[in-house]
Amino acid sequence: MSRFSNTPRRRLLDALWPWLCAASVALSLLMLAALLALLVVRGLGHFWPATLEEITLRSGASVAGQPTREAPLPQAEGFERLYFTANRDIDGVSWRWVNLDDIVSRSTPSDLIRLERNPWGDFIGRLAGVETGGQLLREDQAWRYLTQALALPQAERPDAELLLVTTDGQTLRQSLSGVSQALAPNAMSWWQKMHTWSRNVWQFLSQGPRAANTGGGVWPAIFGTVLMVILMSVIVTPFGVLAAIYLNEIAHQNRLTRLVRIGVRNLAGVPSIVYGVFGLGVFVYGIGGTLDSWFFSDTLPSPTFGTGGLLWASLTLALLTLPVVIVATEEGLARIPDAQREGAVALGATRLEMLVRIVLPMAIPAMLTGVILAVARAAGEVAPLMLVGVAKLAPQMPVDGEFPYLHLERKFMHLGYHLFDTAFHGEDVQAAMPLVYATALLLVLIVLVLNLTAIFLRHYFRRQRGSEC
């Protein structure tokens, strides 16, 4: 009897394996959906004007702030709640854990306000008045004056001083020039909060970071990430395609060629930090230092190309992703039937004409597949960039109105490094965590847009080739 006979055990396995495959797909999609949901809720929720609470404790103290989360008490029964109380210049801290059993009363007064200030961060309390031009405005007049003044450009704002009061009775004066936003979230309608949310999201996308990367936006990091990925793609694509053409179409298929293929595939598994060290030693110190000694000797010892910059970062990531492009392109070339090549040669085409007019157009989808994989990997790399050009805060953009317009020697900001720096190197990590989620979501969306663009081009060329056939 054959060992492949229809035994009950085999019938059970035949019935189960499709369900196991489907369960694996469903679990993968569920984990992906959970990740995206976490990023969306935690990231975009940060820009929503949250309700402010004023609580009274058993001790008689009054605390105002935004409740964020609850946790069990470390060594006792019960729970405690974490409040963002702001007012770092008064209390020295911006966060406070409160035992739920110590809370006597909770309320959401409509006159509680939240100011975004520089350099002391947020203030939560009440607006007692505004002094401007020797005149003291109070209550509603003061709030209207403040909101109208903040709607003006920074250079046109009047010289005024705010009188602020905390919920425990402490007072302080705040210059209007140091305030960037003022909200009274408890008095806002749903539509007003939606308008404020959309404005905050736009500012996050269009402005630069401030307050040690715990506030402001990420526009320089978005620009630097996209520009670096584009330069990397422009550099790696021709080299990867030419290398694949040589290995599959020109080189003799012998032991040496097989060893080269094995080496290329192994390079795809080398840790990215190794490429960063190579880029630092060869590109930055080697080539960059030589260029400085030849063309920029007048500026030495201050380096021009002998330090990390956009060019060296793009070259390093191009080297990192080169094996991916080579392997994907070569697999696409190998799938083209030999009859296409033989037919072109039989009709009188030279070998170069056969490659350019027949083989390469048919391999374009495979090339774009390699570019898609390269972009997906390069956009999220951080370790090599820390050695070859990324900066915590770049004072100048790589592109501006000065000749030569594209400055490849300048340092740049990157979303991946900005995320890492904000999460682990900020002064207030707890306050920066929502921005970490928002930046992570933005990085995922940028990679998705870049990949979808390449996928669209691949689909377009496939349709073109199909229509020609």
337 within a domain of the structure (yes/no): yes
* Domain match, 174 and 265 both: no
Instruction: Considering only residues 9 and 78, tell me which one the structure prediction assigns the higher pLDDT.
Output: 78
b/e code 248-287 from CB counts within 10 Å (16+ = b): bbeeeeeeeeeeebeebeebeeeebeebbebbbeebbeeb
Return the pLDDT at 211: 66
Return the beta strands (E) in 248-377 as ranges: none
* Domain match, 168 and 92 both: no
| Residue 269, pLDDT above cutoff 60 | yes
Place of tokens 């990925």: 229
b/e code 152-167 from CB counts within 10 Å (16+ = b): eeeeeeeebebbbebb
Structure token pair of residue 454: 């390449």
23 within a domain of the structure (yes/no): no
* Domain match, 142 and 180 both: yes
* Domain match, 121 and 238 both: no
**What confidence tier does 236 reach under pLDDT thresholds 50, 70, 90?**
very high
- In this predicted structure, which of 95-99, 208-212, 270-274, 445-449 has the lowest mean pLDDT? 208-212
Average pLDDT over residues 97-126: 91
281 within a domain of the structure (yes/no): yes
| Residue 141, pLDDT above cutoff 80 | yes
* Domain match, 153 and 96 both: no
For residue 170, which of 128, 117, 115 has the smallest C-alpha distance? 128
Quote the CA–CA distance of 67 and 185 in Å, as a whole number. 13
pLDDT digits (tens, 9 = 90+) for 368-409: 888 888 888 888 888 898 889 888 888 788 888 788 888 888
For residue 308, give the amino acid letter. Answer: G
Alpha helices in 56-167 (DSSP H): 88-91, 139-150
- In this predicted structure, which of 24-33, 243-252, 388-397 has the lowest mean pLDDT? 388-397
| Residue 468, pLDDT above cutoff 80 | no
Return the pLDDT at 198: 94
* Domain match, 119 and 76 both: no
| Residue 467, pLDDT above cutoff 50 | no
Residue 451: count other Cβ atoms within 10 Å of its Cβ: 16
Place of tokens 């921005």: 435
Return the pLDDT at 214: 67
Instruction: Considering only residues 469 and 369, tell me which one the structure prediction assigns the higher pLDDT.
Output: 369
For residue 42, which of 315, 442, 393 has the smallest C-alpha distance? 442
* Domain match, 95 and 117 both: no
| Residue 53, pLDDT above cutoff 90 | yes
Average pLDDT over residues 43-71: 92
Return the pLDDT at 465: 63
Quote the CA–CA distance of 378 and 100 in Å, as a whole number. 47
**How many domains would you assign to the chain?**
3
Backbone dihedral region for residue 389 (phi beyond 0: left; psi -120 to 50: alpha; all else: beta)? left
Return the pLDDT at 280: 92
230 within a domain of the structure (yes/no): yes
For 148, phi then psi, to 5°, come to -70, -40
Of all residues in the chain, what percent are helix, strand and coil, respectively (each to 5)?
A: 60, 15, 25
Return the pLDDT at 1: 46
* Domain match, 461 and 319 both: yes
41 within a domain of the structure (yes/no): no
Return the beta strands (E) in 211-351 as ranges: 215-216
Return the beta strands (E) in 140-242 as ranges: 160-165, 171-175, 179-183, 209-210, 215-216
Return the pLDDT at 108: 93
For residue 210, which of 82, 122, 91 has the smallest C-alpha distance? 122
Average pLDDT over residues 70-78: 85
Strand partners, 57: 103
- Percentage with pLDDT > 70 across the chain: 97
Give the CB-side neighbour count of residue 183, counting CA atoms within 13 A: 25
For residue 412, which of 316, 267, 334, 308 has the smallest C-alpha distance? 308
* Domain match, 340 and 458 both: yes
**What confidence tier does 6 reach under pLDDT thresholds 50, 70, 90?**
low
- Percentage with pLDDT > 90 across the chain: 38
345 touches 203 (CB < 8 A): no
Quote the CA–CA distance of 232 and 398 in Å, as a whole number. 15
Q: What is the mean pLDDT of the chain?
A: 87
Average pLDDT over residues 134-159: 88
For 124, the domain range is 113-188
Tell me how far the alpha carbon of residue 406 is from its chain's centroid.
Answer: 22
20 within a domain of the structure (yes/no): no
pLDDT digits (tens, 9 = 90+) for 270-305: 888 999 999 999 999 999 988 888 888 888 888 888
Among the three residues 91, 107, 123, which one is the final residue of a domain in this structure?
107
* Domain match, 299 and 280 both: yes
* Domain match, 271 and 388 both: yes
214 touches 431 (CB < 8 A): yes
Strand partners, 215: 210
Quote the CA–CA distance of 168 and 301 in Å, as a whole number. 56
- Sequence-separated (6 or more) residues with CB below 8 Å from residue 245: 329, 333, 355, 360
Structure token pair of residue 329: 């392109």
- In this predicted structure, which of 162-166, 227-231, 339-343 has the lowest mean pLDDT? 339-343
- Sequence-separated (6 or more) residues with CB below 8 Å from residue 97: 80, 81, 82, 83
Classify burial at 33, counting beta carbons within 10 Å of its beta carbon; exposed 0-12, middle 13-18, buried 19 or more. Answer: exposed
* Domain match, 170 and 316 both: no
Among the three residues 107, 123, 149, which one is the final residue of a domain in this structure?
107
Quote the CA–CA distance of 391 and 381 in Å, as a whole number. 14
**What confidence tier does 158 reach under pLDDT thresholds 50, 70, 90?**
confident
Return the beta strands (E) in 18-108 as ranges: 53-57, 62-72, 79-84, 95-99, 103-107
Classify burial at 4, counting beta carbons within 10 Å of its beta carbon; exposed 0-12, middle 13-18, buried 19 or more. Answer: exposed
Catalogue the long-range contacts made by 399-404 (C-beta closer than 8 Å, 24 or more residues apart).
Answer: 399/223, 399/227
Place of tokens 């729970």: 79
25 within a domain of the structure (yes/no): no
| Residue 112, pLDDT above cutoff 90 | yes
Q: What is the three-class DSSP state of 132?
A: strand
Return the pLDDT at 308: 85
127 within a domain of the structure (yes/no): yes
Average pLDDT over residues 330-342: 87
